[in-house]
Structure 1
C-alpha cells in the first residue's frame, strides 16, 4: 500500500531531527476522509489492557502492541505476537526485560487506518534512509488516564530516546484532558521545541538518533469526570 508523504516534512526531519504536523496537514497526508474504519480504530482504545509492568512501579496506563516488518518493496507484514524490549540504556524505568502486552486486535492491526499510517511512515522514513532494506516496526496503542488525585504520565521514564531510528506519535483522542505537551530536546538537555497534540491526527515525528522527546503529565479539566489521552506510537528500526 502506498501513502503520500511531504517533501517539507522530510526536510524538517533532516534539518531539525523532528517535525510537528497539525491535524489538517496529517489528515491530508493520510487521505483520512477515505478511512472508513477510523471510528472503529479510535474506539479500540476502549479495549486496551492494563500495563502490568508499569503498575508494579506505582504508575498506570493501558496499552496494546503489535510488530510488523517492511521490506524494500514497501510491503508490510504483520508479524507473530512477540514481546517489546528496550535496554536500560534507553529505558531506565523498565529496561532489560521482555514485556508482553496484549496484542493489537487483528481487525485493527490489518485494518485500513493502521495500514495507511504504517505505509505513510514507511514512505517518510524510507525516503530519509533509502539504504535500509528491511524495517522492524512496532505499533503501540497507549491510553493515559488522569484522575483528580493523580496526574497521568505519558512518558513515565522522563525525557528519553526509544532506541530505534524513527518515531511517529499520532493523537487519536483527548477526553477531558489538560496539558500533555510533547517536548523535544538536544542530547545536552536543551529544549528544541514543543507542541501539544490537541486534535485527532495531530502528530510528532522524531529522528531518535538525533533528539530526545518527552510529554508533560496530563490532568483532568473536570476532576469529577473520566479523563484520558489516546495515542498511537509507531517506531521504525532498521534490520
Structure 2
C-alpha cells in the first residue's frame, strides 16, 4: 500500500533536498483526479502538438505547445495573452536570448479543469516555500519527444541545466514504446544528487530550480519499427517583477 505524502511533507523534502519524485498513483490522489473531467481530451491533445522549429540541431524531433498564466496575491489564476517563451543564454546555451513563439495550448484546454488543477496544485505546493513572492508568472509547456529507428529523442538537448525560474513541475502524461528518459538532479558542482525515471502517467518531478540543476537522458525506441514518444507537461513558477 502506497502512503500518500502530505503537501507539508513534500515541502519539507524540497527544502531539504531541492527536489522530489512523486509516483503517479500518489499524484492522482493529491490532484483529486475526479475533478479533472476533461482529462481524456487533455491527454489526447498531445497528438496535436506542433513541431519545435527552434531546435538548434537537425534530427531532434520535438513537438510542443505553450500557454502563460499569472497568479496574484489572492491566489487567483488568470490565463494571459499568448506570448513568447524566453530564456537567457546562461540557462539555455542552445536557444537562449531569443523570443520563441510556440503554438498556443487551445483555449478550451488552457481553461479546462485538468490544466488548472495541476497549476493550482503547483501553486499550493510552491508558494509557501517563497512567502515573499506575491505575484507569480506561470508557463505551461506540452512536450512530445519522439524517437525512431537509429535516432534517439532528446528531452533536454541543452544538457543538464536550470530553467531560470523558481520552481518546476514535470508531469508524465504518456510514454509509448520508449526506454530510458531518466531524470537526473545535480548540485552546483555537477555532482549527482538523485535520479529517477518517469514511467507511469502522472509520475512527477518537483524541482527547486534555484538550488539544483536537472536533465533527462535520451530516449530510444524499444521496437524501432513502431512509433515511440514521451509526453510530458512542464509547469514553471517564477516570481513576477
CA distance in 1 between counterparts of 2:53 and 2:129 reads: 36
Paired residues of 1:5 and 1:123 also in contact (CA < 8 A): no
Partner of 1:127: 128
Gap runs ≥5 in structure 1: none
SS in 2 for 1:114: helix
SS in 2 for 1:161: coil
Aligned length: 235
Shift of 1:72: 1.3
Is 1:200 paired with 2:194?
A: no
Deviations 1:177-226 (A, max 9, x none): 00000000001000000110000000000000100000000001111100
Deviations 1:89-137 (A, max 9, x none): 0000100000000001111101000000000011011111111110000
Deviations 1:51-105 (A, max 9, x none): 0011x52122000001000011111000000000000000001000000000011
Partner of 2:233: 232
Partner of 1:57: 57
Deviations 1:154-196 (A, max 9, x none): 0000000000000000000001100000000001000000110
Gap runs ≥5 in structure 2: none
Is 1:214 paired with 2:215?
A: yes
SS in 2 for 1:62: strand
CA distance in 2 between counterparts of 1:200 and 1:137 reads: 22
Shift of 1:24: 1.4
What value does the CA root-mean-square deviation take over the aligned residues? Answer: 1.1
Partner of 2:170: 169
TM-score by length of 2: 0.96
Shift of 1:34: 2.9
CA distance in 2 between counterparts of 1:133 and 1:99 reads: 27
Partner of 1:142: 143
Is 1:48 paired with 2:42?
A: no
SS in 1 for 2:54: helix
Paired residues of 1:5 and 1:124 also in contact (CA < 8 A): no
Shift of 1:5: 6.0
Structure 1 residues 45, 5: closer, same or farther in 2, change over 3 A?
Answer: farther
Paired residues of 1:17 and 1:210 also in contact (CA < 8 A): yes
CA distance in 2 between counterparts of 1:40 and 1:225 reads: 24
Once superposed, which parts of structure 1, at least 4 consecutive aligned residues long, lie more than 4 Å away?
Answer: none
Structure 1 residues 115, 5: closer, same or farther in 2, change over 3 A?
Answer: farther
